Amino acid sequence: MGLRGEAAIVGIAEYPHQRRYEGPRKFTLEQWSELTALALQDAGLEAGDVDGLVCSDIRESGMFTPATVVEYLGQPVNFAERIDLGGATAVGMVWRAAAAIELGICDVVVCALPALPIPSNPNPGPVDPQRFFQSSSPNWGSPQAEFDIPYGNLAQNAGYAMIAQRYAAEFGYDPEIMAKLVADQRANGALNPNAAFYGKPVSVADVLGSKMIADPLRMLEIVMPVAGGGAVVLAAREVAERCRHRGAYVTGFGEHLTIKTPTYAEDMCRTPVGPASEQAFAMAGLTPRDVDAAEIYDCYTITVLLTLEDAGFCGKGEGMAFIRDHDLRCAGDFPVNTHGGQLGMGQAGAAGGMTQVVEAARQVMGRAGERQVAGCDTVYVSGTGGVMSEQSALLLQGG
Amino acid sequence: MSIELERPLPRPTPTSRPFWDGLQEGRVRLQRCDDCGAWVFYPRNRCHRCLSAALTWHDVSGAATLYTFTIARQPTSPHFAGDVPQYLAVVELAEGVRLTSTLVDVDESRIRVGMALAPVFEPVDDDLTMLRFRPA
Ligand SMILES: [Zn+2]
């Protein structure tokens, strides 16, 4: 079952992530073409090499997104997908691109998630009330609109906080250990020039002293919205071998969806990234012990804790001890989110998960500079969309 | 920026109408699958276990326990700016189904996962009653 490991990430591009974006504003399509050009250049490929594309929504069009992007880029493709998996989108893009390449229907696939601000509209329409509901649907007939939103359970913070509170009741909870997780990741982010918190580490005391947002989650355990975005180019092995950098081959993936709102989860503390990761490891013929670094989707600290457990890096209920006993920094014994994660980079909307993919490729390519994990050959990546409702996993390995 | 937004209210559908009508009468009603026995919440047209269409409404006690909670110290959206702190709850009814609600008449320091809860029928207007919970 699965991939043979014949497709690799060969090029990457990433906008510096900034809390206050001061550069020129660009439409999503303009960012798409820019990121594509940068990623192809990084790989040593040319525009005409592209024959596949994976996108998500763009601000300029509500539908026909792939065709709109293809036309703008001027690159006809044999394979086009639009992914709607929230924070799991980036990982979902990469495995679909690898699968399409292995099917032989395309050789070079671009996956981009632009997230810089677009130009201010000189003729703005009325404010869309939908925006106040963030990721929750207020449409009539939406179960959320009827049974969750009216009670105030919407957006992300409350759902993740309730998962953390349940975890605390079942397995125990140590705020200092969660603060240590943030401090380790922010130490990594402090070394990353593309991170919003470049040069800005925090201490355990800083995290514990930050404002309580939704018990037990504090401000510094929650991602900060930023401008950013990134892209990767994947290529078939025979193309990858001609590229400028060592390829990061996709040897395993998994994806699992269960619910939209965690109220209806069978078990809030056993998350979909479990089955997704199990499939990814089995496909790659690897175990969690084989991993040199883990780039774990980190919208909140609780997401990392549960992913460490459910992906099998430690047992259920052992995540707190695992974080306490391991040095998660780049030079540590178990490097996690070597780019700082989204807690260190900032979260550029649904593009946040692309930072984990880009950094994983960078590490396998040996291009992470001060953050480079020595002898890094195998990297685990996870993606999380919604409130632990749709999750994905990826294994990248040097060719 | 201060935004005054109307509180979003449930808009019953033909399928869910018996649930909301039950609350108007001070009763908690759930669907149960005649074929596999599963209790179903939220209301659906088919069973979420076996996809059977044979669902029947039953009155239940409303007795529940607290599966989890959070205390939102910042409003979860501008609509709830006046409700902070929000005592958001996931409540497990005795039948095993879970629902989203909020806790009322509760001392914040006494909220515990697993605590016993009783239903509170809170009239919103002539046509709508919301289901909240208090310590039993
Ligand atoms: Zn059934």
Q: Which residues of B touch A150 (CB under 8 A)?
A: 7-10, 130
Question: How far is A229 from A31, CA to CA, in rounded Å?
Answer: 9
Q: Which residues of B touch A268 (CB under 8 A)?
A: 67-68, 90
Q: Which residues pair with A214 in a beta bridge?
A: A217, B72
Summarize pLDDT for A68-103 with one digit per residue, the tens. 999 999 999 999 999 999 999 999 999 999 999 999
Nearest CA of chain B to the CA of A123: how many Å? 21
The answer to whether B127 contacts chain A (CB < 8 Å) is no
CB contact under 8 A, A134 and B77: yes
Q: Report the pLDDT value the prediction gives residue B7, as an integer from 0 to 100.
A: 87
State mean pLDDT over A21-34.
97
State mean pLDDT over A29-34.
98
Is A280 contained in some domain?
Answer: yes
For A12, the domain range is 7-119+222-398
pLDDT-based confidence at residue B1 (cuts at 50, 70, 90): very low
Is A257 contained in some domain?
Answer: yes
CA of A142 to the centre of ligand 1 (A): 22
Q: Cβ of A312: how many Cβ atoms within 10 Å?
A: 18
Between β-strands A52-55 and A217-218, what pairing exists: parallel, antiparallel or unpaired?
unpaired
Nearest CA of chain B to the CA of A81: how many Å? 29
The dihedral formed by the CA atoms of B77, B80, B84 and B89, expressed in degrees to the nearest 10: -80
The answer to whether A323 contacts chain B (CB < 8 Å) is no
Summarize pLDDT for A266-307 with one digit per residue, the tens. 999 999 999 999 999 999 999 999 999 999 999 999 999 999
Summarize pLDDT for A325-353 with one digit per residue, the tens. 999 999 999 999 999 999 999 999 989 99
User: What H or E segment, with its residue span, contains residue A28?
Assistant: helix A28-43
Question: How far is B116 from B63, CA to CA, in rounded Å?
Answer: 8
For residues A135 and A199, the model is more confident at A199
The answer to whether A130 contacts chain B (CB < 8 Å) is no
The answer to whether B1 contacts chain A (CB < 8 Å) is no
Q: Report the pLDDT value the prediction gives residue A1, as an integer from 0 to 100.
A: 80
Closest-CA residue of chain B to A168? B113
Q: Which residues of B touch A214 (CB under 8 A)?
A: 70-74, 76, 88
Q: Which residues of B touch A262 (CB under 8 A)?
A: 90
State mean pLDDT over A182-206.
98
Nearest CA of chain A to the CA of B102: how many Å? 6
State mean pLDDT over A54-66.
96
Do B39 and B96 contact (CB within 8 A), yes or no? yes
User: What H or E segment, with its residue span, contains residue B131?
Assistant: strand B128-135
Do A55 and A65 contact (CB within 8 A), yes or no? yes
CB contact under 8 A, B78 and A151: no
- Can you spell out the DSSP letters for A55-108? E--BTTBSS-HHHHHHHHHT---SEEEE---GGGHHHHHHHHHHHHHHHTS-SE
Q: Report the pLDDT value the prediction gives residue B4, as an integer from 0 to 100.
A: 67
Report how many helices (DSSP H) and strands (DSSP E) chain B contains, helices first: 1, 8
Nearest to B88 among A129, A153, A169 (CB): A153
Res A124 pLDDT > 60 = yes
Nearest to B7 by CA among A135, A154, A125, A159: A154
Is A256 contained in some domain?
Answer: yes
Cα dihedral sign for A242, A248, A253, A258? negative
CB contact under 8 A, A151 and B101: yes
Is A23 contained in some domain?
Answer: yes
Is A390 contained in some domain?
Answer: yes
> Looking at the 3D structure of chain A, how many domains does it have?
1
Summarize pLDDT for B27-53 with one digit per residue, the tens. 999 999 999 999 999 999 999 999 999
Q: Which residues of A touch B3 (CB under 8 A)?
A: 132
CB contact under 8 A, A149 and B8: yes
Question: How far is B49 from A213, CA to CA, in rounded Å?
Answer: 36
CATH number of the domain within which A80 lies: 3.40.47.10
Q: Report the pLDDT value the prediction gives residue A399, as an integer from 0 to 100.
A: 85
Mean pLDDT rounded to a whole number for chain A: 97
For residues A398 and A122, the model is more confident at A398
pLDDT-based confidence at residue B3 (cuts at 50, 70, 90): low
- The full set of domain ranges for chain B reads 14-60, 61-136
Nearest to A146 among B7, B42, B86 (CB): B42
Using only C-alpha atoms, what is the Rg of chain B? 16
State mean pLDDT over B8-18.
97
- What tokens were used for A128? 């869309």
- Domain B61-136 in CATH 2.40.50.840? The answer is yes
- What tokens were used for A355? 């930072």
Q: Tell me the residue length of chain B.
A: 136
